Amino acid sequence: MSTVLITGAARGLGLDFVKQYAAKGWKVHACARTPDALKQVKGDIHPHTLEVTDYAAVKALAARLGGEAIDVLICNAGISGKEATVLGSIDPAVWRETFEVNALAPLMMAEAFANHVAASQDRKLVAISSRLGSITFANNGRYSYRASKAALNMEWKGLSVDLAPKGLICVVLHPGWVQTDMGGQAATLTIEQSVPAMVKVIDGLKPADNGRFLNYDGTELPW
Ligand SMILES: NC(=O)c1ccc[n+]([C@@H]2O[C@H](COP(=O)([O-])OP(=O)(O)OC[C@H]3O[C@@H](n4cnc5c(N)ncnc54)[C@H](OP(=O)(O)O)[C@@H]3O)[C@@H](O)[C@H]2O)c1
C-alpha cells in the first residue's frame, strides 16, 4: 500500500489531493488546521490537526509517524498575502507571514519528513509553488507572494541536491490558475482539471525528474 501526506488538506487543492489519492486506494495522512471537512471523504484517511508554522507540532507529527514510510509528501498549504499589489503599500507583517507559511514551513516539513520519504518505495517530495515565483516570468506587484514562492523554488532545488544520495525526487509543481478561494472564480482551471493532472504528473515522476519545476500538465517551467 502506498502512502501520501498532504498539508492544507481541508479545502481547495489540498482537499482534492486527499480525494484523488483516497480514490486510488492510498493511505492518506491529511494535515489541516481544521480537519472537519475530511470526515466526508471516503477512504483510508488519517486526519491530523496541523498548523504548518507550529514547528514543534510538525516535529511531533513526524515523531508520531516515526518508522512509517511516506511515498509522496505534498507541501500544499499556502497563503496569497493580503498586501496591496502596488509599490508603496508593502506591509512587513504580511510579508513575514507570507514568507513563513509559503517558504519556511515547507522546508521545515521537508526536513522533518525526509527520512519517512526516503524509507518509501516512491520517494517523492513535492512542493506546490506557483508560476508567480518564476524569475523568468517576473512582473509587477504581489511582492511577498512572488518572493515566497521563488524562495520555495530555490529550497526545493537545494533539497534535490542534498537528498539525491537518499534517492529522493524533489519536484516543484505549479497547479495552474485554479478556481479555489485563493484563485477566485475568474481562474481558468477548475479543481477537477488541475489536481487529477498533477496526480498523474506525480505518478509518472522518475529519478531523472529530480530538481524540476513543472506545470500541472507536466510541461517544464523556467525558474
Ligand atoms: N489557486 C491557484 O490559482 C493557485 C495558483 C498557484 C499556486 N497555488 C498554490 O496552491 C496551494 C493551494 O492553494 P489553494 O488554491 O488550494 O488555496 P486555498 O483554497 O486558499 O487553500 C489554502 C490551504 O492552505 C491552508 N493553509 C494556509 N495557511 C496555513 C497554515 N499556516 N497552516 C496550515 N494550513 C494552512 C489552508 O488551510 P485553512 O483552511 O486552515 O485556512 C487551506 O487548506 C498554495 O500553496 C497556493 O499558493 C494556487
Per-residue pLDDT of the chain (223 residues; tens, 9 = 90+): 999 999 999 999 999 999 999 999 999 999 999 999 899 999 999 999 999 999 999 999 999 999 899 999 999 999 998 776 778 888 999 999 999 999 999 999 999 999 999 999 999 999 999 999 999 999 888 899 999 999 999 999 999 999 999 999 999 999 999 999 999 999 999 999 999 999 999 999 999 999 999 999 999 999 9
d(CA 50, CA 201): 26
* CB of 173 sitting under 6 A from ligand 1: no
Answer yes or no: is 171 within a domain: yes
Distance 17 CA to ligand 1 centre (A): 12
Answer yes or no: is 119 within a domain: yes
pTM (2 d.p.): 0.98
Answer yes or no: is 223 within a domain: no
Answer yes or no: is 221 within a domain: no
Ligand 1 atom with minimal separation from the 149 CA: 47
Domain assignment of residue 79, given as a range:
3-215
Number of domains in the chain: 1
* CB of 181 sitting under 6 A from ligand 1: yes
> Which CATH number do you get for residue 75?
3.40.50.720
d(CA 4, CA 17): 9
Answer yes or no: is 91 within a domain: yes
With CA atoms as reference, report the closest residue to 43 among 6, 84, 91: 6
Distance 78 CA to ligand 1 centre (A): 4
